[in-house]
Each structure stands twice: as structure tokens, then as C-alpha cells.
């Protein structure tokens, strides 16, 4: 910083940087407080492998997996825990299954060749059957089982 000691006779057109730096520091502190520390993403449910083999038999009764399989025609076929069902029967069957359950969790598993719109329809049917949490099973998750 240079200082003039009078005598030079004219006005100085230098910008005073101190107020600008003060404003910058205040804005920096405000943005640090506003930005969340941990980013919030989507809640995802992933089926966990059983810790004990004796509980595995009980968990298969509780776990509901709706499969959307590539059919021979244009429309896919649907299965609820290896039981084949028609698309029109999905909502009544899921409503019946989840009528007396406290734990309303469902997983949807689709073939690679199936259009995602069919899987989205199954998710919508699950929401209509009052399922609270719907998880998607991907090939990477299924390979670990």
C-alpha cells in the first residue's frame, strides 16, 4: 500500500479494497452456513443377505419380490415370489398380501430386455396397494445372492 503525503495536488482514483474484502468474507461465511454438510440423496432399499440360515426360511415368507419378465409377445409376464400372475391380478393380490402386514416393503426385479415403463407401472401398482417402501433389484445385487 502506498500513501501519499499531500503535496501532489490531485485526486486519487485508486479503489479502496478493504470494504470489498469485508463483504466477500461475510458472503463466504453465509454460504458456508447455508450449504448442507452432508448431501441428501434418494433413499434406496437393498435386500440384505440373511445372517443366519434358519432365519432365511422365515424371511422368504416376508419378502415380496415382483418380477417383470420379458414375455414371448410385446407384453411382459409378471411373478410374485415365483407365482405367475396376470397384470390385472397384481393390484388385488398385492392388496391381499399387504392387508395384515406391519412391514410394507416390496422389491421389483426386471429383465434387461423389459422396457422401464412396465417396471414403473408395477411400482405404481405397489403404491396403490399401500406399500410403503419399494426397492429395485439390479443385476449387480442379484449376482451377490
Which residue reads 443377505 in cell numbers? 49
Per-residue confidence (pLDDT) for residue 61, from 0 to 100? 60
Residue 26: pLDDT above 70? yes
Residue 109: CB atoms within 10 A of its CB come to: 20
Confidence of residue 17 (pLDDT cuts 50, 70, 90): confident
Residue with the bigger pLDDT between 29 and 39: it is 29
Confidence of residue 16 (pLDDT cuts 50, 70, 90): confident
Distance separating alpha carbons of residues 62 and 103, to the nearest angstrom: 8
* pLDDT, tens digit (0-9, with 9 covering 90-100), for 42-88: 666 677 776 765 544 444 467 889 999 887 777 888 999 888 999 89
Exposed e or buried b per residue across 42-72, where buried means at least 16 C-beta atoms within 10 angstroms of its C-beta? eeeeebeeeeeeeeeeeeeeeebbbbbeeee
Per-residue confidence (pLDDT) for residue 2, from 0 to 100? 57
Per-residue confidence (pLDDT) for residue 92, from 0 to 100? 92
pLDDT mean over 33-37: 75
* pLDDT, tens digit (0-9, with 9 covering 90-100), for 80-137: 988 899 989 999 999 998 888 888 899 999 888 888 889 999 999 999 988 888 988 8
Per-residue confidence (pLDDT) for residue 56, from 0 to 100? 43
How would CATH label the architecture of 53-143? Answer: 2-Layer Sandwich (3.30)
Amino acid at each position: 500500500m502506498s500513501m501519499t503525503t499531500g503535496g501532489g495536488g490531485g485526486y486519487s482514483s485508486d479503489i479502496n479494497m478493504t470494504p470489498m474484502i469485508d463483504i466477500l468474507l461475510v458472503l463466504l461465511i453465509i454460504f458456508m452456513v447455508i450449504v448442507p454438510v452432508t448431501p441428501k440423496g434418494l433413499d434406496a432399499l437393498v435386500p440384505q443377505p440373511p445372517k443366519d440360515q434358519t432365519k432365511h426360511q422365515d424371511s422368504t415368507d416376508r419378502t415380496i419380490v415382483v418380477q417383470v419378465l420379458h414375455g414371448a409377445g410385446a407384453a411382459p409376464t409378471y411373478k410374485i415370489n415365483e407365482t405367475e400372475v396376470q397384470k390385472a391380478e397384481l393390484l388385488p393380490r398385492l392388496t391381499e398380501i399387504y392387508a395384515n402386514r406391519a412391514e410394507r416393503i416390496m422389491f421389483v426385479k426386471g429383465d434387461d430386455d423389459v422396457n422401464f415403463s412396465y417396471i414403473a407401472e408395477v411400482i405404481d401398482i405397489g403404491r396403490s396397494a399401500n406399500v410403503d417402501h419399494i426397492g429395485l433389484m439390479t443385476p449387480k445385487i442379484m449376482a451377490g445372492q
